[in-house]
Amino acid sequence: MRAFGPRVARGLLVAVPLGFLAIFFLWPVGAILGRGLRTGGSLDLRSLAEVWRDPSLRHVLWFTVVQAVLSTIATLAVALPATAVLSRFQFRGRGLVIALLTMPFVLPTVVVGTAFRSLGLSGSLTAIITAHVFFNVAIAVRVVGEAWRALDPAEEDAAQSLGAGPILTFTAVTLPALRPAIVAASSIVFLFCFTSFGVILILGGPRFATIETEIYRQTAQLLDLHTAAALSIVQLVAVVAALLVAGAMTSRVRTSTRLPVRRPPPTSRRSQLLLALGLLPATVLVTVPLGDLVIRSLANGAAGYSHLTSTPIGAPGSPLQAIATSIKVACVATVIAVALGLALAHALTRPGRRVGIARVAELLVLLPLGVSAVTVGFGFLIVFDTPPLDLRTSWWIIPIAHALVALPFVVRTTVPVLRAIDPRQRETAAMLGAGPAQVWRTVDLPIVAHAAKVAAGFAAAISLGEFGATLFIVRPETTTVPVAIYRFLSRPGVTNVDQAMALATILMVLTGVVAVVAERGSRIEARS
């Protein structure tokens, strides 16, 4: 009987998060796909064949892949030089540069699109690729930089002592060691570019449609669920492939628990030139759009900020109320995502769990990242329309959707930390008489606490900027800031543009502060 309680607790740790995913992800997505692939009560796969026969849909598929590949290549071209000098040199302001390069990743796609529109970059493939590089450069810097930090400098020193020059040392020693990290980063960047919605919708316009925006058009405007379901299946297959590649490569990336090696400062002219050339493209790409966005928000005598308290004609609330709604939703969504994510991470990493089963479960948790947000949002409207889960008019439907999107980030942030815990620490605590709950409080929790803070910061930032699913399920009285920005940009008039720029700047500051505070808190706790 004494073992019955812990078994029930462990079962709940798995059942509750997976039940959340089953109800709020698999059910809505399955309902949309089921309706789209059935005609007259029977399975009809003709819409899948139509995707390949229709020239316009084939062009959408082709453009989606091409823009994702080009965006991934451009991201690596900008990020790898910056990663190289950040990993090789120690200099004043290095932490600020890393924080600056990381900030775009947590910025809402609506803010990114608005920033590039303020520069006059819209309606072109160049604008889309540039915005994707801006948005995803942090992924390559983080993933490849962590692997670079784990490299043993003695290997490069040994190659150079044998007469190898800098180029030969890099190609023969450093690059092979970094290849898994580069492939993993490329897979993740490709995934985000392949499923991009807000950037394409704002910067691409009708000329440049991707699978994601075409699903939105087929669902919201044409009400063609058959074509939307077929496109969702094609997208899901590509996403699963990208996740499998990223997972396989991530497992091969070197990690290190040792303190970082003290890198030399760039004292020579050559090293200073390398530092400048490595950082210049990335820092310019990040700072110019954000700076221009702030300047544009202050144009016309800061008129956009002065109108934040006024209610537009036909709207139920002011932009200031949208800010309050976004903050409230982000707080609730963060609590849900972190609680469920920590429970699932603990269950996936507990001793005795088979590695294969854990990997499959992690893949299932990551699927919400790749499934169309439009599909999820529209699925919410279809399945949650009858009691006891009639959520269409409920305020809770928005934080639930946001928590669903943030949950994969929480799991991916905390699982590696829990896996790195030495099992002997848990065994020692158990030998001293600690029960499972006490082992968790005394061993696991102190180690995973700073990772949980980072996860909470990401979850809050993601919620503040979530746009795709929210566009479907939001009601006038629950309008969030990203939706309000999109609506202002969709209306003519200088006042609407001013308010969009002001709201985008405020949202940029909110998400940036949340991310920096979480990251700073994790560093402080890690040092203590």
Residues 293 and 114: beta-carbon distance below 8 Å: yes
pLDDT at res. 138: 82
pLDDT at 336 over 90: yes
Domain boundaries for CATH 1.10.3720.10 within the chain? 1-38+298-528, 64-294
Lowest mean pLDDT among 110-114, 147-151, 179-183, 228-232: 147-151
Rounded Cα distance between 319 and 500, Å, is 9
Name the residue among 103, 22, 480 with its Cα closest to residue 290.
Answer: 103
**Phi first, then psi: what are they for 38, rounded to 5°?**
-125, 140
For residues 166-194, give the mean pLDDT.
78
Q: Given a cut of 70, is residue 155 above it in pLDDT?
A: no
pLDDT at 2: 47
Q: What is the DSSP letter of 260?
A: P
> Average pLDDT, stretch 496-521?
76
| Residue recorded with tokens 């929210």 | 470
- CA–CA separation, 269 and 280 (whole Å): 16
Instruction: At 126, list the tokens.
Output: 């160049």
Query: For residue 104, which of 84, 65, 122, 78 has the smallest C-alpha distance?
Result: 78
Q: E strands, 271-410, where?
A: none
Helix (H, G, I), strand (E, B) or coil at 43: strand
Residues constituting the chain: 528
pLDDT classification of 528: cutoffs 50, 70, 90:
very low
Matching CATH number, 64-294, of 3.30.565.10, 1.10.3720.10, 3.40.50.1820, 3.30.1360.70: 1.10.3720.10
pLDDT at 499: 83
Which position has the higher pLDDT, 335 or 145?
335
Name the average pLDDT for the chain. Answer: 77
381 within 8 A of 430, measured Cβ to Cβ:
no
How sure is the predictor about 159, in pLDDT bands with cuts at 50, 70 and 90?
low
Q: Report percent pLDDT > 70 for the chain.
A: 76
Backbone angles phi, psi at 193, to 5 degrees: -70, -35
User: What mean pLDDT do residues 185-189 have?
Assistant: 83
Is-above-0.85 flag for pTM? no
Nearest to 257 by CA among 419, 140, 429, 95: 419
Query: pLDDT per residue over 436-485, tens digit each?
Result: 667 666 767 777 777 788 788 878 888 888 887 787 788 888 889 888 88
Paired tokens of 420:
């790195």
**Cβ-contact 204, 213 below 8 angstroms:** yes
What is the distance, to the nearest Å, from the Cα of residue 40 to the centroid of all Cα atoms in its chain? 39
DSSP state at residue 404: H
Q: pLDDT > 90: what percent of the chain?
A: 8
Cβ atoms 89, 265 nearer than 8 A: yes
CA pair distance 98, 82, nearest whole angstrom: 10
- Return d(Cα 312, Cα 267) in angstroms, integer: 57
The answer, yes or no, to whether residue 74 has pLDDT greater than 90, is: yes
Q: Which CATH superfamily is domain 1-38+298-528 in?
A: MetI-like (1.10.3720.10)
Q: What is the pLDDT of residue 398?
A: 92
> Can you name the residues that pair with 511 across neighbouring β-strands?
none
Give 256's pLDDT tier (boundaries 50, 70, 90): very low
Count other Cβ atoms within 10 Å, centred on residue 136: 27
pLDDT tens figures, 196-243:
887 888 888 777 888 888 888 887 777 777 787 788 888 877 877 777
Report whether pLDDT(399) > 90.
yes
pLDDT band at residue 8, thresholds of 50, 70 and 90?
low
Name the band, by pLDDT with cuts 50, 70 and 90, for residue 361: low
Hey, what are 215's tokens?
């699903």
